[in-house]
Amino acid sequence: MSAGSLLESFLAMMVAERGASQNTIENYQRDLQQFLSFVAASDMADVTDKDISQYVQALSKHPYAPKSIARKISALKEFFKFLFSEKEIKENPTAYLIAPKQEKPLPKFLSEAELKRLTDTALAKEEIHARRLAVMLILMSACGLRVSELVGLPENCINYDKKEILVRGKGSKERLIPISDEAIEAVLDYITYRDNFIRGGRKSIWLFPSLTSSSGHMTREAFFMGLKELAIEAGISPKKLSPHVLRHTFATRLLNHNADLRSVQKMLGHEDISTTEIYTHITSEKLIDTVKRLHPLSRLK
């Protein structure tokens, strides 16, 4: 079987057996095609650990972030593990391959004043595309959604009576997140002009439909670009703002207002609580306030 056919079989397995998301599949496909182009092997059984080592060295010479290199290596290990289990190769050349250690940087987040300025700037616009962006901004910052979850929300995702939103996350796992009155009000207002994004009497199952994207809903890239433009208008550095920063902001605000870590983990959809623990950084102002209020020596006169 050709390398390309084996790759297609691997991706099909990831969807059928692992429930991998479209985003994960696209990353695997892109990373593994890069590897296949590098080794140019017609038979995957001919690939050796030396080829793998040369590929990893080539990656290190490019300006890839450690996280990106780790992802590419992970894709490679999963691919060859699959080939070995399917008896397409006799030995796994990635068996002893170790991904580089990654430093976990503290997450970037917006202050409450910055978030309010961003939201107010979006809501002040009358043009319908800007109003849609405002609704998406409010939903994301109010519920801590991933950008892929946000753009892929179905129209019927919100239970308005229970004030909950049903989100399909990584691995197609569903979770319920409480939704604020402000966010519900913004969505209900948006519903009144949502059909402007469909036109011609067409129907769509998506909350944020699109006529131009292949998925039928607004793309992550379009939302990302909209955020950057909004940041400039709000007087916030566009380098400081991304969809993931809004998710960081959601988690940081909850923890800084004494939410318990397990609740935040559930709302963010993290499998492992250690992933959520990165958000337990606390602003220096709050630390100073805590010491002043609670430390015995601070109360001595």
Q: Which residues are catalytic?
A: 146, 170, 244, 247, 270, 279
Q: Comparing C-alpha atoms, which of 168, 173, 170, 145 is closest to residue 244?
A: 145
DSSP string covering 108-177, please?
Answer: P---HHHHHHHHHHHHT--SHHHHHHHHHHHHHHHHT--HHHHHT-BTT-EETTTTEEEEE-GGG-EEEE
CB 150 within 8 A of CB 269: no
Largest Cα–Cα separation, the chain? 80
3-state secondary structure of 206: strand
- Best CA proximity match to 9, nearest among 29, 24, 23: 29
Burial 17-30 (b: 16+ CB within 10 A, else e): eeebbeebbebbbe
